[in-house]
Structure 1
Amino acid sequence: MIRVLIVDDDFMVAKVHRGFVSRVPGFEVVGLAHTGAGALAEIERLAPDLVLLDIYLPDFTGLEVLRRLRDGKVGVDVLIVTAARDVETVREAMRGGVVHYLIKPFTFDSMRERLERYAIAHQGLAADGDIGQDDVDRLFVAMRPARVELPKGLNADTADLVGAALKKAADELSAAECAGLAGLSRVATRRYLEHFVAEGKAAVRLRYGSAGRPERRYRWAAR
C-alpha cells in the first residue's frame, strides 16, 4: 500500500480528499495535518510515501514545507493540491520536485488518474539496482496525465469546474444553477453538461412545469 498524508487547512476539504484517496486501490491515508508545522511533524512521525500538500496554510505556506523537506533531504514525494494558480507558485513547486500539481476544484477522476500514474512510477522505482533509458522514459511518461479529448470549444479546466459543481450538489441542478456554482455562463455550462451526458458521466431528467419548455435537470452519474 502507498501511504498518504493529507495536508490542508480546511478540515472539510481534507476529509473530502481523504475520501477520494481511500477510493483508489493501493492507497491508504495514514494521517491528516492542517498546518505547516503539523505537516512536518506528521511526516517525521509517519514517514508516508506521498504527501498531498496544500499551498495555503495558516502558519507558513506549503512551499515552505516543501523547501524544509528538501533541505532536510527527507525522502517523501509531494503532490501539490491547491487553489493557487499563479505562475511563480507553480514554478517554485516544480523546482521543489513535486510529482504533480492539481488545482482546486477538481473531480475525483482527476485525482484518481494522478494517483494511479504515481503508483506506476512508485512501483517502477521500488527495486534496487540499475535501470535503462527505456525504463526511465516509461516512468516519466507514466507521470503525465492522459490527454482527455474534448469536443472543439471545450477545455479540460472548465470541464473540471462544471463537473466538480455538479458532483458536489446534493440534488439535481439546472444549467443555470450549475453555472452559478461554477462561476460560468449558463450557455457555456450547458455545453459541458450535455457533453457529460453524452459521455455517460451525467444523467439528465426533464422537469415539466405548467407552461413552456420542460427544464433539463442534471446529476452526476460517474460515481
Structure 2
Amino acid sequence: MTVSATLRTIIVDDDVEVASLHAKFVAVHPAFAVVALAHSGPEALRLIAEHRPDLVLLDFDLPGRTGLEVLRDVRAMGGLQPEVIAVTAARDVESVRQARSAGIQHYLVKPFTALDLTARLDDVARDRLALVRSGERDALAQRDIDALMRTGARNQAQLPKGLSAETLLIVERALESAPNSSAGEIAERAGISRVSVRRYLEYLVAVNRAGKTLDYATAGRPSTRYASIGAA
C-alpha cells in the first residue's frame, strides 16, 4: 500500500445497498477513491490483500468471518496497515474494547449521518498527509507527531478510577443520539446499568462535555436530564 494524494478505500458491509450508500459518501470526498466493495469476511480479506488500501470501512457483522476476525488477519499480513473506520451497529462494551485493542481509532454506530462519516474521513486524510510530509526524514515536526499519535483529545485525559474509555465512549454516543435524557433512558440505550451510567454522566458534566438540568414536569421529585454540550 502506498500513501498518495488519493486514498484508496474498500467498503465492507454485508448489506449490498448499505455498502453502495457508504461508497457514495466516500466518493464525494476529494481525498478518497473507492476501489472495491466486499459483502463477506472472506471476500473482504481477499480484496484487502489484493489492493492493500489506505482505508477500510469495516462492518463487524459479516458472514463467513466477523469484521474483527478480518482485521486480526489483516494485522498479521504485516506491512503498512490501512486505517480502519468501524461502521457497525455493535455498541456493546466488548466490541468497542476489541476495536480499540485492534488499533481502530474511528468507531461509527449505525445509523449515522453523512456529516459524521465526513468528519472521520477528514481525520484519516489529515493523518495520512502527515505520513506524506514525514517521508524519509529522521525527525518529524511536532504537528506530524501529533497527527500520527492522535487518538482523540477526549480520550487522552486521565479518567477517574473505575471509569473506562470504552464505556465512556458508549455512554457519550448514547447521550449524543438522545439529548435531554435521564440516566435511566441513557442506560437503556447503552445497555449498561443505571448506576454506572450516572457515574459517567456526572464525569461528562464535570469536564464540561455534558450539561444537566432538573425537569419539574414529572410528578414527585424533579428528574435530572442530561445533554451533550452543544446538543440542541
Per the normalisation by structure 1, the TM-score is 0.60
1:174–1:218 CA contact under 8 A, matched in 2: yes
Alpha-carbon distance in structure 2 between the residues aligned to 1:68 and 1:77: 9
Residue 163 of structure 1 corresponds to 172
Match of 1:51 among 51, 56, 68: 56
1:152 to partner: Cα distance = 4.4
Alpha-carbon distance in structure 2 between the residues aligned to 1:116 and 1:70: 27
Alpha-carbon distance in structure 1 between the residues aligned to 2:162 and 2:74: 42
**SS of residue matched to 1:58:** coil
**SS of residue matched to 1:100:** coil
Percent of residue pairs identical: 36
Equivalent AA in structure 2 for residue 100 of structure 1: I
Equivalent AA in structure 2 for residue 58 of structure 1: P
**SS of residue matched to 2:181:** coil
Equivalent residues in 2 for 1:100-179, closer than 5 Å: 100=104, 118-126=124-132, 130-132=136-138, 134-135=139-140, 139=145, 142-145=148-151, 146=153, 147-169=156-178, 172-179=180-187
2:134–2:140 CA contact under 8 A, matched in 1: no
1:8–1:57 CA contact under 8 A, matched in 2: yes
Residue 34 of structure 1 corresponds to 39
Residue 79 of structure 1 corresponds to 84
Question: Deviation string for 1:78-104 (max 9, x for gaps)?
Answer: 426365958xx77xx96xxxx636667
Equivalent AA in structure 2 for residue 57 of structure 1: L
Residue 204 of structure 1 corresponds to 212
2:39–2:62 CA contact under 8 A, matched in 1: yes
Per the normalisation by structure 2, the TM-score is 0.58
Alpha-carbon distance in structure 2 between the residues aligned to 1:49 and 1:64: 16
1:68 to partner: Cα distance = 7.4
Residue-pair matches, total: 208
1:4–1:27 CA contact under 8 A, matched in 2: no
